[in-house]
Structure 1
Amino acid sequence: MDHLFLNVLNVVLPVLICAGIGYCLAVFHAPFDNKVIGGIVSKVGYPTLIISHLPTTKLAVGTFLDMMTAAALAVAAFGVLGFLALRGLRLPVRAFLTPLMHGNVGNIGLPITLLALGDAGMAYTMAFVVVVLVSIFTVGMWIPAGEFSPKKLATSPIIYAVIVSLILMATGQSLPQPISRSFDIMGGLSIPLMLLTLGHTLATLRINSLGRAVLLTALHLVMAVAIASALIWLFGFTGTERGALILCCLMPSSVATYLFIDQHVPEYGPDVAGFILVSTLTTIVVLPVALAYWI
């Protein structure tokens, strides 16, 4: 039991330490531009990480596409269940559906699955990251804004990075070595920058209603367990695939969604901030339990 606890601690603690450093940067008012760093990660870091990592994992294209399909179904299920729950609780859908739908699979999911499940686990998580990021920057923006804009989807670098990666995986080809090494370096920046940004952002959030934040966190966790269990049964996932799917579904609400809520429905910004903060802190307990007893 002690050995199991130590293994779980070795997975979770590095993530918490890196995010904690970002938190300290905010506390001590060190220069840190979330918007600039977020843009670098989404436009350069994620695409290069995908292209540099996916073709080398020896995953079959069909297997990767299966995980992408599962991820799309997970996001859709969170959306449907979240919509029904918010209607039942009489909470505004425009404010709370986007953070309920989208987990923080980038900032927390990638490093956790890399440490817990290795390169293959990280590759499966990338399938989830692609789907969630595309959804965040399309549906996730449209819901609070109340408008539809397919241009965001067509201009997303992540879409093209996935296409390139799938071609390389299917053909067994690789990029020229100078390009491959450049992508390795740029992609390697993504995870530490994401964790620093996560900690810095959490330090700047202000909670309005703690009770509502706890309620939404509990709702999100119940939905996550139900959706992960259903998808494992539906796809017959085992081993690393199963572990990656469970961890991705258990991720807390994405920090990125707060920006859209604050922009389009600012009166609910503090409530959403509270939900994101509480759900993120809850993972300190949820992830060790999942790693020890479910994965």
Structure 2
Amino acid sequence: MLLRIASILLPVLSIVLIGYLYGRRHAPDMVTVNRINMDLFVPALVFVALAGKDVQLAQYGWLALAAAGVVLGSGLLAWPLARLLGIAPLTFVPPMMFNNSGNMGLPLIVLAFGAAALPGAVILFLVEMILHFSLGLWLMDRHAPIGRLFRQPVVIATLAGLAVSVSGLVLPDAVALALKMLGDVSVPLLLFSLGVRIAGVSWAEWKLGVLGGLICPASGLAMAAAMVAWLPLPAAQQPWLWLFAALPPAVLNFLVAEQYRQEPSRVASLVLIGNLMSVLTLPPVLYWLLS
């Protein structure tokens, strides 16, 4: 069992480590690379996963609802805790809600449960991303236009993939292969980018980072337990939800905090130290799920 867990985590952590070592040595500016990834490679991955003729999207409805419950419920748990600890809620709550379903969630779920889990992993990722680009931005700016959500390439790719799937259209092999090759770039690049980000972590707020690294998976798992108990989620999809719930904070939280000047240095500590701590928090969850 330990060898299987290592075989799941080592490929992910190895790419993160390569990004970290490269970032320490060269300090590359990843802004343009990350933008290309989110504008092109990730949308291609999402489109191919949803447009596949063998994907029955209706079977993921309860999974999507459960994922939304984990995200929103984690925020409800974290808000009073932030007040109690004297931390600005807009600094603490979003990283506890919006987890790393892209950088870590996609590869971990596929490595742990096989290629058949990719559509489910994409559904979980999309729920988190859509909530982040709608509710997350609204929390930071109550006047943010909701139309901004539908201009996001990931959302456009989602709608296009759903349209192709529902219509029954089959993409030409050459087109499907080209899009798959573009999508295959996205996950390794997400992991490499995470490593580069970790190389620039500030330890000034390490206590806050450690606190967030514990609360984020704990609140997620608590809400996953509630969703599994309350919703008729298929048994085969429940392990995907548990692993999704145990993920650390998303890197996007830092980018949003930086954009809206919401204590970005403290959010960076929450995000990056939380991701470092996932080396300790994810193995027990994987051991439980796989055993």
TM-score using structure 2 length? 0.92
Residues 263 and 172 of structure 1: is their aligned pair in 2 closer, same or farther, counting only changes over 3 Å?
A: closer
Task: Quote the offset at 1:240 in angstroms.
Answer: 3.6
1:21 deviates by 0.8
Aligned residue for 2:7? 10
Report SS of the residue matched to 1:28.
Answer: helix
Q: Report the AA paired with residue 25 of structure 2.
A: F
1:28 to 25, 30, 35: 25
Name which of 196, 201, 211 aligns with 2:207.
211
User: Which SS does the other structure have where 2:114 is aligned?
Assistant: helix
Q: In the alignment, which of 193, 198, 202 is matched to residue 198 of structure 2?
A: 202
For residues 89 and 53 of structure 1, what CA distance do their matches in structure 2 show? Answer: 42
- Matched with 1:277 is 272
| Structure 1 residues 254 and 41, CA gap change in structure 2 (3 angstroms) | same
Q: Measure, in 1, the Cα distance between the counterparts of 2:71 and 2:217.
A: 14
Q: Distance in 1 between matches of 2:259 and 2:144?
A: 16
Call closer, same or farther: CA 1:145–1:29 in 2, change over 3 Å.
farther
Instruction: Give the drift of 1:112.
Output: 0.5
Q: What is the identity, as a one-letter code, of the residue corresponding to 1:13?
A: L
Where does residue 84 of structure 2 map in the other structure? 88
Amino acid at match of 1:137: F
Moved more, 54-63 or 118-127: 54-63
Q: Could you say if the C-alpha distance between residues 283 and 171 of structure 1 is closer, same or farther in structure 2, counting changes exceeding 3 Å?
A: same
Match of 1:244 among 240, 243, 253: 240
Match of 1:293 in 2: 288
Partner Cα separation in structure 2 for residue 54 and residue 125 of structure 1: 11
- How far the C-alpha of 1:12 sits from its partner, in A, is 0.2
CA distance in 1, matches of 2:199, 2:141: 26
Gaps of 5+ in 1: none
Please report how far the alpha carbon of residue 123 of structure 1 lies from its aligned counterpart in structure 2 after TM superposition.
Answer: 1.4
Q: Are the equivalent residues in 1 in contact too, given 2:197–2:272 (CA < 8 A)?
A: no
Q: For residues 141 and 205 of structure 1, what CA distance do their matches in structure 2 show?
A: 24
Offset, 1:148: 2.3
Q: Detail structure 1 runs of 4+ shifted over 6 Å in the superposition.
A: none
Residue in structure 2 matching 1:152, options 144, 148, 161: 148
Identical-residue share of aligned pairs (%): 25
**RMSD over aligned Cα, in angstroms?**
1.9
Paired amino acid for 1:274:
S
Alpha-carbon distance in 1 for matches of 2:265, 2:53:
41
Correspondence 1:127-276 to 2 at 5 A: 127-265=123-261, 268-276=263-271
Between the aligned partners of 1:127 and 1:271, the Cα distance in structure 2 is 30
For residues 80 and 213 of structure 2, the distance between their equivalents in structure 1, rounded to whole angstroms, comes to 16
Q: 1:94 & 1:70 partners in 2: Cα distance? A: 24
* Residue 229 of structure 1: how far off its partner (Å): 0.8
Distance 2:259 2:160 in 1: 33
Once the two structures are TM-superposed, the CA of residue 176 in structure 1 deviates from its matched residue by 2.0
Structure 1 119/61 Cα, relative in aligned 2: closer, same or farther at 3 Å? same
Q: Partner amino acid for 1:65?
A: G
Residues in 2 aligned to 1:46 and 1:170: alpha-carbon distance in whole angstroms: 21
8 Å contact 1:57–1:120 — kept in the other structure? Answer: no
TM-score by length of 1: 0.91
